[in-house]
Chain A
Amino acid sequence: MAAPLLDIEDLHVRLAAGRAARPVVDGVSLHVASGETVGLVGESGSGKSVTCRAVLGLLPRGAAATGAVRVDGSDVLAMSAARLRELRRHHVAMVFQDPRAAVNPIRRIGDFVTEGMRAAGVPREAALGRAEDLLESVGIRDPRTALRRYPHEFSGGMLQRVVIAAALAGEPRLLLADEPTTALDVTTQAEVVSILARLRAERAMGMLFVTHDLELAAAICDRVYVMYAGRIVEAQSADGLFARPRHPYTAGLLGATPRLGSELPPRAVPGRPVSLAEAPAGCAFAARCAHALPRCADEQPVQREVGGARVSCLRAEETADD
């Protein structure tokens, strides 16, 4: 098998020294192949966004990362500033959560869409021409006029389309989507997701889709990684995840989803999410887990293959047969 497009191996991230010093990502390994859509699901604070940003070498100031984040075989964590700029201009692009915050409010849409291309040396006229095509491809009407407008003249959904267009400007092979629909209205969410899925397919990009919405991830992704307190607790195909969640946390998340046509009310996962820094020595989910044994709190589960999924749970084999 050829080297995957994105290969994260045993990534650890520690925030800056001082009062806020704490680990946030602990031994995350995941990979995304060309043309594949991979979901990274977790609650806020689970470390999914930090993991996603690490792919672009965007770590919080003073944060220390160990392990490897390889894009096309080269380790992002070891790249020089110049190599990083090269990576960000041509190989990996990111769509952010809140388009209102992601686009500089005082510069024109055209400036925003063309900025990456201009930095890569594309002449102004050519960049504007390409920006027009890109805006058209994400469904912005009258793209030529749109280029001269300001962000506050657009709705959130339209602005997220602009952000997607700008992300595609460098013809990236890997697209990172960090909760791209969380800040949008429900009706707009579906549109933005379908635009992302269509463009990913048209351009045969790999996509890492970060979300807290397990159902959404299962709907558009080929495979899904579930993160809890800085660690990956389960990874398997989207279909498998839905049919047979192997980790109690995944099962809990699925059970907490409200469903139309179901008589049963959604059941919340009891307790509150913990961060990696306050997690016990063993399984971070143990305190909230209905299947927890005394040893779960002390013994860190090793990730292993159980029934086609990779799971980090001491009792994965037992619960798999339920």
Chain B
Amino acid sequence: MAGFLLRRAGGILATLLVTSLAVFGSVHLAPGDPATFLLGGRSASPEAVAAIEAQYHLDDPLPVQYVKWAGGVLTGDLGRSVQFRQDVADLILARLPTTLWLVGYAALLIVLVGLTLGALAALRPGAVDRLVLVGTGVATATPAFVAAIGLVSLFSVRLGWFPAFGNGSGLGGRISHLTLPAVALALTFTGLLARVTRASMLEELGRDHVEVARSRGIPGSAVVRRHVLRNALGPITTVTGTVVAGLLVATSIVETAFGLSGIGQLLVGSVTVKDFPVVQAVSLLVVLAFACVNLLVDLAHPLIDPRLSHAKGAAS
């Protein structure tokens, strides 16, 4: 087990190294440069441009820039934002709570609604199943920004139930401000999880051991819980993990649509103005989140299915 964790930690570090190189390279390959943005379109003397470039180390060769930046990251210094003239770490920390609330809220909705709908469809073939399939089909195909516009026009403008804009403060304020964004964010992935749950449960429902359980007089609800849902958890966990990690990226659209100042909005804004340090830091954060969630999912799998034990040879 310790060996497994060590190998996985090494894998995560290697992933971060490679992705940081890729992110660093692609940001610099894109046309445009931060100096132009900082000058705000004013014409400046070449000396002024050179001064700005020197201040942000933009005149160094790329490899040198990368090493300087990577060295900073390792010592906890994510650099300074060109746009905000603030430490990147502070920028991110200030916006992280809103994004985490949003992602957590959406993840909760996805798991609760997705599992329920999927299970319902699997256990009630016929009208209910078809209704869920159509509903999840529409949900999966609805882009978050379309959902955002629809939700705002119905629940904010017409009904006035939820605010359309801003972060909100305090628990109640947050929940009421984040409900529409969370629903818009969750919609697509809820449909996805419902379909995965349905398929996975249908596969288990057809297995012999489910019929064996029924043949022994186990009540239907216990059969579903202990033999169908329990055995279907493998694919459901994998998809849930990927979806939750992906929410960090997907928030950018929803945060922009609802005017929430979170990580996603920061990323979009920074890409537009070529704020390299911020883009790099947020990208790394997302990759780190993906790697960690995947690790959690892999750690959970042997608990779900004892045949997938990490400790080889422990089961003699």
Q: Is the CB of A150 within 8 A of B315?
A: yes
Q: How far does the alpha carbon of A166 sit from the alpha carbon of B217 in the complex, in Å?
A: 12
Nearest Cβ distance between residue B315 and chain A, in whole angstroms?
6
In chain A, what residue has the closest Cβ to B304?
A106
Q: How far is the CA of A150 from the CA of B302 in the complex (A)?
A: 12
Given A150-B306, A150-B307, A150-B315, the answer on whether A102 and B208 have CB atoms closer than 8 Å is: yes
Contact A119 B218 (CB under 8 A): yes
Interface-forming stretch among A80-88, A133-141, A273-281?
A: A80-88
Contacts of B220 in A (CB 8 A): 81
Tell whether, in the assembled complex, residue B219 and residue A103 are in contact, meaning their CB atoms are under 8 Å apart.
no
| A88 x B216 contact (CB < 8 A) | yes
CB pair B209 A102 closer than 8 Å: yes
Given the interface contacts A115-B216, A170-B216, does A104 sit within 8 Å of B227 by beta carbon?
A: yes
Chain A neighbourhood of B207, CB < 8 A: 101
Q: List which A138-194 residues lie within 8 A (CB) of chain B.
A: 150, 152-153, 163, 166, 170
Contacts of B218 in A (CB 8 A): 85, 115-116, 119
Point out the residues of chain B lying under 8 angstroms from A105, CB to CB.
209, 231, 305, 307
Contacting pair A120 B230 (CB below 8 A): no
Binding site for A on B (CB under 8 A): 207-209, 211-220, 222, 226-227, 230-231, 304-307, 315
| A207 proximal to B (CB < 8 A) | no
Enumerate chain A interface residues (CB-CB to B < 8 A): 53, 56, 58, 81, 84-90, 93-94, 96, 98, 101-107, 115-116, 119-120, 150, 152-153, 163, 166, 170
Give complex CA distance A84, B216 in Å: 10
- Would B217 and A104 count as touching, CB distance under 8 A? no
A85, A96, A170: the one within 8 Å of B208 (CB): A96
Question: Which among A98, A120, A153 is the interface contact of B217 at CB below 8 angstroms?
Answer: A120
From the candidates B209, B214, B306, B315, name the one contacting A58 in the complex (CB within 8 A): B214
By the criterion CB–CB under 8 Å, are B209 and A104 in contact?
Answer: yes
A22 to B247, CA, bound (A): 49
| Residues of chain B lying within 8 A (CB to CB) of residue A120 | 217
Distance to closest chain B CB from A158 (angstroms): 15
A84 to B214, CA, bound (A): 10
Query: A119 touching B226 by the CB < 8 A rule?
Result: no
Q: Apart from A89-B217, A119-B222, what are 19 other A-B pairs with CB-CB below 8 Å?
A: A85-B218, A85-B219, A86-B217, A87-B217, A96-B208, A101-B207, A102-B208, A104-B213, A104-B226, A106-B230, A106-B231, A106-B304, A115-B218, A116-B218, A119-B216, A119-B218, A150-B315, A163-B212, A170-B217
Q: What residues on B are CB-neighbors of A94 within 8 Å?
A: 212, 215
Q: Which residue of A lies closest to B210 (CB)?
A: A104
Question: Which residues of chain B are within 8 angstroms of A88 by Cβ–Cβ distance?
Answer: 214-217
Selected A-B contacts with CB under 8 Å, 8 pairs: A84-B217, A88-B215, A102-B209, A105-B305, A106-B307, A119-B218, A120-B217, A152-B307
Pick the contact of A103: B212, B214, B222 (CB < 8 A): B212
CA distance A104 to B217 in the complex (A): 16
Q: If the complex has contacts A102-B208, A104-B231, A150-B306, are A58 and B226 also in contact, measured as CB distance less than 8 A?
A: no
